[in-house]
Amino acid sequence: MVRPGIRDYFRLRPRTPEGLAAQVDEEIALHIELRVQELVAGGMDPERARAEAERRFGGVMRAQLLLQRSARERERRMSVREWLAGWRQDFAYSARSLAREPLVALVVVLTLGLGIGANATMFGIIDRLLLRGPEHVQAPHEVRRLYITQRSWTGVVETTSSAAYVHYTLVREWRDLFTGAAAYSIRSSRVGRGERARERRVGWVSADFFPLLGVQPALGRFFTVEEDRPREAQRVVVLDYGTWQMEYGGAADVLGRNIELQDERYTVIGVAPAGFTGPQLEAVHMWVPLSTISPPHPEWPTTWNARWVHVLVRRAPEVSWGTANAETTRRYRAAADPAREREAAAVLALRPLAYGAQGAEPAELPVSRWLAGVSLIVLLVACANVTNLLLARALRRRREIAVRLALGVSRGRLARLLLSESLLLACAGGVLAVALAGLGGRALRALLLPDVQWGPALDLRVLVFSAAAVVLTGLLIGLAPVLQSGTRNLSDTLKATSLRAAAGRSTLRSTLTVLQAAFSLVLLVGGALFARSLWNAQQVELGIDASRVLAVWPSYPASGEDSPEAQQAVRSRRDAALRGVLERLRLHPGVARAALAIGTPLQGTLGIDLRVPGRDSLPSLPGGGPFISAVSSGYFETVGTRILRGRGILPSEGKGTAPVVVVGASMATALWPTEDPLGRCLLIGFEDPPCFRVVGIAEDATNQGLRDLPAMRYYVPLGQEVGVGGTHLVVRPRGDVDTFIPELRRLLHELEPDATFFGVNHLQKYIDPQLRPWRLGATMFLAFGGLALLIAAIGLYSVIAYGVAQRRTELGVRIALGASAAAIVGMVLRQGLALVLAGVALGLAIALATGRMLEGLLFEQSARDAGVFAAVTLTLLLVAVLATVVPALRAGKTSPLDALRTE
């Protein structure tokens, strides 16, 4: 008998069902034949022997079919098992062979880990911001917010999502367009009383809010239409899941408990599901019926004048958004009072939930989209680098591979072996990437987008994304070595010396190096542009020291007075009390300056009638206005607005003294472009106002923050204002602003026990979110750019070092022929720099071409800033020299004797 076990070497495994059936038949035939021989040998005649053999087999025809079927089943299962076993073998072999070159493996895994990790991190962010929509919202892309574009009272055309309650009741009726509509207002509201009171984000929402979003309560129920009926509303509250867990320990008996919200008692009826944040992404602590809000306007259910809610709609399935927009505008204009010109000309549009209050995409979104693209480039750079390393490795292994091919290993099988190696590397990189995404993602989210309520940094979607990235990366980096192994001429390789085999292979590797350098440059340019934008934005003259100033808003219990006279008396008493508080605050060692004001920058704008003697109408400024402020003495010093000419408000000025006014610089120029504004007259207020004499000109102070356009603003002494209210304190602490807040609160409650709460706003908190897009862009672009540069530097180093090692013989010959070490070093350096310079040229071209697309995201920064380009280019060249100099020096030390002897 021939020893079995060689079948696979001769490829005897049947590939077709026919072949398999023939094998089964052959096996049966042999069995029958041998049985017949046995029986005949025992004395039976041949014919009977055959019948007996077939009987004992159990019916040949039947057995044949049965066995063929089970043989097919066997082969099917075994081929899967063998396929898997083959992969296992290949993986084990790859692991062993990589372990022999731990440095290469380490660099590859690190590179891939960083590249895939960057993508996993960005995917986690993009997924929440753009793809998935707010948590628990069913089909979030079918839900949109209503935006109204119309001329405001200041004459500026504005787009805003702030709507009147009637907008909601109107839209709600259009059942043919929308399957649902809801109104909501999310605002900071006071929970509790006195010193223990806290500000919480409260969602004031209509009863159809939850059904529209398609969310189910985690506990209890949501409120009903009856509980949200205007003027008959019930004070019930649905807690946020996080609030329920943190403040009530997740107790099931929370239902029926009471919460004091804005001095009113609310009963808990339910808990929203974990992670629910309504139509936006920021956490909300509790949800209450919209109609229980303290009315912003006495006629709020029917007036067009109070714009205080946002309106959501869910599109009917057969209606396109284009149709919905056009119809909404048409029907709205038809329903509006034609006498109200501004409303009759308004344009209504439905825009995605991710859009901001001004109807545009917040800058974080396009920046994040760019960053996702950038992270992909980082991964490509990483892949290019890894491909380079693996190609070098494949060159070292070319004889092993050639031997395998010569021994008859199929090219498919060889490709699998090479792929298993790259997949193994990608998997190890993927593990590192997931760890990085978990750590980095959390830090990134907290630092750069702190308001968004994030889920865990590593959820299933991020893991699936990472797994897909690993497989794709593995295939991508395995591609070049596999293709290379497929095209190589066998006998040449087996015969070739190392010198000859190396030639001609470096083109691909050089190209990859050039691309790496180019992409690194592009990313670094992007990073530098964002960093410059951030710097520019931080240098903007706001006209106030936002980082140094606190605005303090007192709240009082309802006065219970009905008559306007009595209410006025209460207001006067409280204002007098506030003046007392101000005097005491000014004496406190922690307070540098303090003042009282109505209408402070970043705290909302107020406007009343204003006329200028000798002018029919007011000029219109792009930022709007005129906006009125009423301020006590010391106000300008407290908020940090400089007086450019004349004087500010004096301590003696107020109610009953001669009317004076300080005018903002833009307003002064707009009203009196050629004359001296000082001494001029403004008529402020209704009917027959007195003449307010201009006594000073102040620098322009911001209304909204960074991207503010020139607006008209003026200041009258506190007490001389008409028709506006909302007296609050502005405080400039001596030391750290945020740490002074608790002390300030304590002091205020002690000085003014009548107030139920003091809302303290650090003005910087309005500026920080505006800086965020550039902070996000600068941080991430630079991080990714630096990463790409590091990877490219490693790549360059490896290409040059490998080239030097390959050319040892040639270098040895050169030295033997009298080339100096310096000449050799110079030659290698030139070679490296030539690659990088090509990369720089390509990168500059790409950066110049794509920069324009980035320009809209930058802050007062050209995307073609020569300084930025020069600085980045120099950085790249410096790194290139550093990466090249080590192998160059080694090349200079080549010993001709050794080099020639090894060949």
**Which residues bind to another protein, rule: CB under 8 A?**
1-7, 12, 23, 26-28, 30-31, 34-35, 38, 56-59, 62-63, 66-67, 70-71, 73-74, 77-78, 81
Query: Which residue, 18 or 736, is less far from another protein as judged by CB?
Result: 18
To the nearest whole angstrom, how small is the minimum distance from the Cβ of residue 70 to another protein? 5
By three-state DSSP, how is residue 419 classified? helix
Query: Which residue, 1 or 339, is less far from another protein as judged by CB?
Result: 1
Q: Is the distance from CB of 600 to CB of 551 less than 8 angstroms? A: yes
Rounded to an integer, what distance in angstroms lies between the CA atom of residue 606 and that of residue 616?
Answer: 22
Longest dimension (CA), the chain: 144
In which element (H, E) is residue 755 found? none
Query: Which residue, 78 or 443, is less far from another protein as judged by CB?
Result: 78
To the nearest whole angstrom, how small is the minimum distance from the Cβ of residue 61 to another protein? 11
Torsion over CA of 383, 386, 390 and 392, rounded to 10 degrees?
120
To the nearest whole angstrom, how small is the minimum distance from the Cβ of residue 406 to another protein? 25
Query: Which residue, 37 or 820, is less far from another protein as judged by CB?
Result: 37
Rounded to an integer, what distance in angstroms lies between the CA atom of residue 892 and that of residue 811?
Answer: 8
To the nearest whole angstrom, how small is the minimum distance from the Cβ of residue 409 to another protein? 20
To the nearest whole angstrom, how small is the minimum distance from the Cβ of residue 38 to another protein? 8
Q: Is the distance from CB of 177 to CB of 327 less than 8 angstroms? A: yes
Q: Which residues contact 223 (CB under 8 A, 6 or more apart)?
A: 207, 234, 236, 238, 269, 270, 289
Cα–Cα distances in angstroms (integers) from residue 379 to residues 24, 98, 474, 522, 793, in the given order: 53, 22, 12, 14, 15
To the nearest whole angstrom, how small is the minimum distance from the Cβ of residue 45 to another protein? 21
Rg (CA), the chain: 39
The sign of the dihedral angle between the CA atoms of 615, 617, 621, 626 is positive
Rounded to an integer, what distance in angstroms lies between the CA atom of residue 13 and that of residue 7?
Answer: 7
Query: Which residue, 89 or 152, is less far from another protein as judged by CB?
Result: 89
Residue 231 tokens read as 């003027």
Query: Which residue, 3 or 100, is less far from another protein as judged by CB?
Result: 3
Query: Which residue, 28 or 467, is less far from another protein as judged by CB?
Result: 28
Query: Which residue, 69 or 734, is less far from another protein as judged by CB?
Result: 69
What's phi and psi for 743, nearest 5 deg? Answer: -60, -40
Query: Which residue, 5 or 408, is less far from another protein as judged by CB?
Result: 5
In which element (H, E) is residue 385 found? helix 364-396
Query: Which residue, 31 or 505, is less far from another protein as judged by CB?
Result: 31
Query: Which residue, 92 or 878, is less far from another protein as judged by CB?
Result: 92
Rounded to an integer, what distance in angstroms lies between the CA atom of residue 153 and that of residue 634?
Answer: 31
To the nearest whole angstrom, how small is the minimum distance from the Cβ of residue 407 to another protein? 20
The sign of the dihedral angle between the CA atoms of 656, 659, 665, 667 is positive
Query: Which residue, 74 or 495, is less far from another protein as judged by CB?
Result: 74
What's phi and psi for 207, nearest 5 deg? Answer: -65, -25
To the nearest whole angstrom, how small is the minimum distance from the Cβ of residue 31 to another protein? 5
To the nearest whole angstrom, how small is the minimum distance from the Cβ of residue 48 to another protein? 17
Query: Which residue, 78 or 834, is less far from another protein as judged by CB?
Result: 78
Residue 835 tokens read as 């690659």
733 strand-pairing partners: 591
To the nearest whole angstrom, how small is the minimum distance from the Cβ of residue 46 to another protein? 18
To the nearest whole angstrom, how small is the minimum distance from the Cβ of residue 49 to another protein? 14
Query: Which residue, 38 or 451, is less far from another protein as judged by CB?
Result: 38
Give the closest residue to 166 by CA, choosing from 279, 331, 306.
306
Give 857's DSSP letter. Answer: G
To the nearest whole angstrom, how small is the minimum distance from the Cβ of residue 26 to another protein? 7
Torsion over CA of 336, 342, 347 and 349, rounded to 10 degrees?
-80
CA 30 to chain centre: 72
Exposure b/e, 835-870, CB count within 10 A at least 16 = b:
bbbbbbebbbeebeeebeebeebbbebebebeebbe
Torsion over CA of 299, 303, 305 and 308, rounded to 10 degrees?
80
What's phi and psi for 345, nearest 5 deg? Answer: -105, 5
- Cis ω before 301 (30° cut-off from 0): no
To the nearest whole angstrom, how small is the minimum distance from the Cβ of residue 54 to another protein? 9
Q: Which residues contact 146 (CB under 8 A, 6 or more apart)?
A: 161, 163, 167, 171, 310, 311, 312, 313, 328, 348, 349, 350
Query: Which residue, 78 or 878, is less far from another protein as judged by CB?
Result: 78
- Count CA atoms within 13 Å of residue 730 on its CB side: 30
To the nearest whole angstrom, how small is the minimum distance from the Cβ of residue 96 to another protein? 22
To the nearest whole angstrom, how small is the minimum distance from the Cβ of residue 9 to another protein? 10
